[in-house]
Amino acid sequence: MSVGIVSYGAYIPKYRIKVEDIARVWGDDADILSAGLMVNEKSVPDMDEDTATIAVEAARSAVARNNIDPKRIGAVYTGSESHPYAVKPTSTIVAEAIEATPAMTAADFEFACKAGTAAIQACMGLVSSGMVDLGMAIGADVSQGAPGDALEYTAAAGGVACIIGSKESEMVAVIEDTYSFTTDIPDFWRREGMAYPEHGGRFTGEPGYFKHVSGAANGLMEKMGTSPSDYDNAVFHQPNGKFPSRVAKMLGFSKEQIKPGLVVPRLGNTYSGSCMMGIAATLDQAKPGDRIFATAFGSGAGGDAFSFRVTDKIDEVREAAPTVEGLLADPIYMDYAMYAKHKGKIRLT
Amino acid sequence: MSVARFWRNQIHRYNLVGTHCKTCDSYYYPPRNVCPKCRRDGEIESHKFSGPGEIVTYTVIHTAAEGFEHQAPYVLGIVQLDEGPRFTSQIVCKPEDVHIGMKVKPVFRKLGEGGDRGMIYYGTKYIPA
């Protein structure tokens, strides 16, 4: 039985702050930072937006794009590291808002930046086994970076929802296979009740991102007997522009292959939405028959690799919901003071 | 707002679910259990509104109620839905960008919250279409 993406939807808040505006406050060199990170600006949520509202907007776009009957969705899983409640699921809010309730299951996922792709894999299992007709996997975040911390330059807001099904006639992309690579690494964490995450310095690069992304990517290509030249496009988790560019080169993918999905310079790191946003942006411009390789990374740490084959259906549904390029267009820029207010960084009492 | 009161209206706030009287073809939001025109002859059914609308009138709030102080100045408007009923909503845009007759569309946003420990209330607001 085949399994694949039946529909997808993305959401990005309208507000942006430029790296130079953050650098000015903390006395950093904006040019060096922008060039080093390959990030020029990042998205900022409105004051009444959070992970739940972003997840709902992405989910509604996914339902609309392929005109899905929400009652067919038997599972809603929302992956995030910024769920609005410590205890109370984001996924029940989403399921109620898309009218998928009540004959369905729901849960929230958490695995740093790859909780959304972990949810895709869970949905793949549920639809493959016949337990549900369709499953919805969401990656959404309003990610946090402590004032003055390196993460503040990239921690952004956005989300993507994918509806996973098993009827090939409905799919926009068949998931040919998936492979995960997971170990216990202290590269990034946030303790209960803490406002901002911590990162484990030297564990972030080689032992974290590069080991797990290349481990998952090489594992999948070895399992499938494919090589980078078999793919038209590739997407790698994009915490900044530098990491996905470097890991693509290490694995043998070209700059042209990763170009359509590399949205981080204009968006920042949307954490659980990051790799899925790259997949959505790549699907937005994909042609039937294209093969797309994608690997998400989550600190802690793990990599989830996927191989997609785009179907003829993509041309029918592409324009039925906002594209990532459309969501990136016409941003409203804000200064650091307004950004601090939006992100609740100003102590009021 | 109490947790129970919000929960009772949750489905209407999330998805603009109101009612329709099949007898006189009138639409109601918030939903009515009895049609005020047809009374006992009315036949009420649930109706999900399509969403888009037009601003009938608006005001700009500068002195906001508790919980909304940091959003001021913000726009509060009356939106006429395409099916007819009027819906009072925050209009998410700059005060200088709003005007009577402006086409608007619904979005899912936080409506408020019961302090740091209470529930977060979600529902429909409007943005320029």
Edge to edge, the sheet with strand A173-182 lists A105-109, A73-79, A134-142, A157-165, A4-11, A173-182, A302-310, A291-298, A233-236
Clarify whether residues A40 and A65 are in a common domain: yes
Write out the catalytic residue numbers of A: 81, 113, 237
Asked if residue B77 is part of any domain, the answer here is yes
Give the domain extent around A71: 4-171+322-342
DSSP 8-class letter at A111: B
How does pLDDT run along chain A (349 residues), one tens digit per residue? 799 999 999 999 999 999 999 999 999 999 999 999 999 999 999 999 999 999 999 999 999 999 999 999 999 999 999 999 999 999 999 999 999 999 999 999 999 999 999 999 999 999 999 999 999 999 999 999 999 999 999 999 999 999 999 999 999 999 999 999 999 999 999 999 899 999 887 888 989 999 999 999 999 999 999 999 999 999 999 999 999 999 999 999 999 999 999 999 999 999 999 999 999 999 999 999 999 999 999 999 999 999 999 999 999 999 999 999 999 999 999 999 999 999 999 888 7
Clarify whether residues A179 and A90 are in a common domain: no
Inter-chain touch B70–A53, beta carbons under 8 Å: no
pLDDT for position A202? 85
Contact A140, A273 (CB under 8 A): yes
Asked if residue A90 is part of any domain, the answer here is yes
Interchain contact A314–B (C-beta under 8 A):
no
Smallest Cβ–Cβ distance between B10 and the set A50, A84, A96 belongs to: A96
Residue B1 has pLDDT above 80, yes or no: no
The count of domains in chain A is: 2
Task: Please name which of A306, A167, A168, A290 lies closest in space to residue A224, comparing C-alpha atoms.
Answer: A306
Give the domain extent around B116: 51-128
Interchain contact A96–B (C-beta under 8 A):
yes
CA pseudo-torsion sign A54, A60, A63, A64: negative
Clarify whether residues A157 and A269 are in a common domain: no
Clarify whether residues A210 and A119 are in a common domain: no
Q: Which two tokens stand for residue A194?
A: 């803490």
Contact residues on chain B for A321, CB-CB shorter than 8 A: none
CB atoms within 10 A of CB A27: 7
E strand or H helix at B24: none
pLDDT for position A328? 98
Say if pTM beats, i.e. exceeds, 0.95.
yes
Clarify whether residues A160 and A205 are in a common domain: no
Asked if residue B17 is part of any domain, the answer here is no
Clarify whether residues A179 and A305 are in a common domain: yes
Percentage, residues of chain B above pLDDT 70: 100
Contact B43, A19 (CB under 8 A): no
Find the CATH number of the domain harbouring B122: 2.40.50
Clarify whether residues A167 and A275 are in a common domain: no
Asked if residue A349 is part of any domain, the answer here is no
Clarify whether residues A155 and A15 are in a common domain: yes
Find the CATH number of the domain harbouring A284: 3.40.47.10
Q: Which two tokens stand for residue A295?
A: 């690997």
As for the ipTM of the complex, it is 0.95
The count of domains in chain B is: 1
Clarify whether residues A12 and A158 are in a common domain: yes
Task: Please name which of A268, A298, A300 lies closest in space to residue A144, comparing C-alpha atoms.
Answer: A268
Q: Is A330 left (phi over 0), alpha (psi -120 to 50) or beta?
A: left
Asked if residue B6 is part of any domain, the answer here is no
Asked if residue B1 is part of any domain, the answer here is no
Q: Which residues of A78-87 are buried (b: 16+ CB within 10 A; e: fewer)?
A: bbbbbbbeee
Contact residues on chain A for B109, CB-CB shorter than 8 A: 46, 48-49, 53
Contact B29, B87 (CB under 8 A): yes
